Structure formats: C-alpha cells, structure tokens
Amino acid sequence: MKTDHVTLTLQPLETAGLGDGPRPSPPMASPPLHHVRLYRMDLPDHTCPWGLKAVRLLEERQIPFEDHPLRSDEEVDAFKAAHGVATTPQVYADQERIGGYSELARRLGTRPEAADVSYIPVIAVFATAALMALALAGGFNGFMGIAICLLAMLKLMDVEAFAASFRKYDLLSQRWSSWARLYPGVELLVGLGILLRPELLVAARLLGATAVVLGGMGMVSVGKAVFIDRLALNCACVGGNSRTPLGVVSFAENLIMGVMGTLMLVAGRVAL
C-alpha cells in the first residue's frame, strides 16, 4: 500500500499575515552631527547659562565640537550681526544652523531643560514699595517712586550683569552700549524726582518727559523681543542675575512709568 507524504511548512504568524499586523518600524534616530561649532557668551563678569547647558549636553553625548566663547560685548554684537541671529548660544553642524540650546536638545532627541523662573523679586519689590507708601502716607506717587528706586537699586548692585542682560533686548543699548550702564542711574533719578514732587513747572515736565521716554522705549523693546521675535529671555528689570522672565510684567512696568510721565506732563507737576 502506497502512502503519500505531505510536508507542511509553518510560517510565523507575522509573515503568514495572520498576526496582529506588521510590526511598527523603530523610530528613526537623529542623523549624527559633524563638524559642530558652538558660539556662546562668556564675558569676564557674566557667563551665559544656556551656553553652559549646550556644552554639557554635547559632552554628555560625546559629540566633538569647537567651543567659540565670545569674550566681550563687541564680539557678541559682531557675531549676531554677521550671522543674522538675535541671541546666543548658537550651534552649527557643517553648513546647518541648529539654533540655541533648546533646538540642540530637541535635535538630539532629548527634552530641553526648562528655564528656572521666579517672580519673587518682582513681588518683593512692589509689596515692599506698597507697604512703605502706606506707612508714609505717600499715596500712588509714593508707591511708584519707592518702587522705581528699589528697582534701580537692584540694577546698581551689579551694573555689568544688568547691562549684559539689558542689551539682549533693549533697542537703544544695542546701538549705544553705554546706555545700558547709564540706565540704572537715570531710573534712580526719576524715582527720586517722583518722591520729591517738584513744584517748579520746568522740573516737573522734565521729569515727566524722562519717564515717558524710559517707559516708551521699554515698551517697544520688550514688545518686540517678546511678541515679535519671541525671545525667551530673563528680564533685567530686577537686576542682571534675576530669573524673572521677560514678558507681560516687564511690559506693564514700562507702561505704568510711561502713563505716570504723561500725567506729569499734562498736570505740570507730580500730584497724583
């Protein structure tokens, strides 16, 4: 009796089309970076923390890179003008501009570190000013005068650090670097003038005009940096080493100063 033998070949369910469908393809890895150059601010009195984060990230990933620290404000300004960028650090790979630290982190497939944000200095300044004005029966004039003096004091504690932070967004100081160093003193004079309440018409109007100019320039600079250029910067309003983000609070501060200056010009004296 003859028997036919049949050979069966069993395929895995995936290849036989009987499984749950094709396996998902693994995520594509980011292409390797070659000839990486990092340009970052490293002034004698201020080192950009985002530049240090970029250095640490590249070293952790063991990616060879050329470190190009910018040692002076002139070098920083020249680099920005030559490359058409508004901020540092900047990372390049071959002919490609990757961007700053956050863009580098995303390119390498990692979550960028969040900015260390704190509104405590702003709250402390305005709460202290409000309490002092209340104790001295200074009214709104007293409140604003004390607040402006306190803000100027914080800037004067480290003028160079303030200037380095201020130049990142202030339009006038980007064209005239000395203005960043003069600003705290001018702001202090405005605050003292509000507290003195000058009776002389010329002095009151000069004070009002100065406040309008400071407030107007501040609103334009902050508005451009935040709402047009969308830069993620710290506000220099409470000093150069603050962690208060540049944004609505900074815009509102300059708006209040501009409004006060306008009222001084209209009224001819400080009497609010």
Q: How far is CA 205 from the centre of its chain?
A: 33
Give the model's pLDDT for residue 27.
44
User: Partners of 65 in the beta sheet?
Assistant: 36
Per-residue DSSP letter, 11: P
pLDDT of residue 240: 76
pLDDT at 29: 52
Closest CA to 220 of 250, 198, 199: 250
Burial class (CB in 10 A: 0-12, 13-18, 19+), 54: buried
Residue 72 has a CB neighbour count (10 Å cut-off) of: 12
pTM above 0.85, yes or no: no
Could you tell me where in the chain the CATH 3.40.30.10 domains are found?
A: 36-107
Q: How far is CA 20 from CA 9, 13, 23, 107, in A?
A: 20, 8, 8, 33
Which H/E stretch holds residue 69?
A: strand 65-70
Fold of 36-107: Glutaredoxin (3.40.30)
**DSSP readout, 134-166?**
HHTT-HHHHHHHHHHHHHHHHHHTTHHHHHHHH
Taking the C-alpha atoms of residue 84 and residue 195, their distance in angstroms, rounded to an integer, is: 44
Q: Which residues, other chains included, contact 239 with Cβ-Cβ below 8 Å and sequence gap of 6+?
A: 121, 154, 155, 157, 158, 161, 162
pLDDT digits (tens), the chain, 272 positions:
444 444 444 444 444 444 444 554 444 456 678 999 999 999 876 788 889 999 999 999 999 999 999 998 889 889 999 999 988 899 999 999 999 999 999 999 999 887 777 888 889 999 999 999 999 998 988 999 999 999 999 999 999 889 988 988 999 998 998 999 999 999 999 999 889 887 778 888 888 999 999 999 999 999 988 888 777 778 888 887 788 888 888 888 898 889 888 888 887 655 44
Query: What span, in angstroms and rounded, lies between the C-alpha atoms of 239 and 154?
Result: 5
| Tokens coding 109 | 């497939």
Q: Computed from CA positions of residues 158, 163, 164, 168, in that sequence, does the dihedral angle turn out positive or negative?
A: positive
- What does the alpha-carbon distance between residue 49 and residue 42 come to, in Å, rounded to a whole number? 9
Q: Hey, what are 239's tokens?
A: 């000093």
pLDDT, residue 203, reads 84
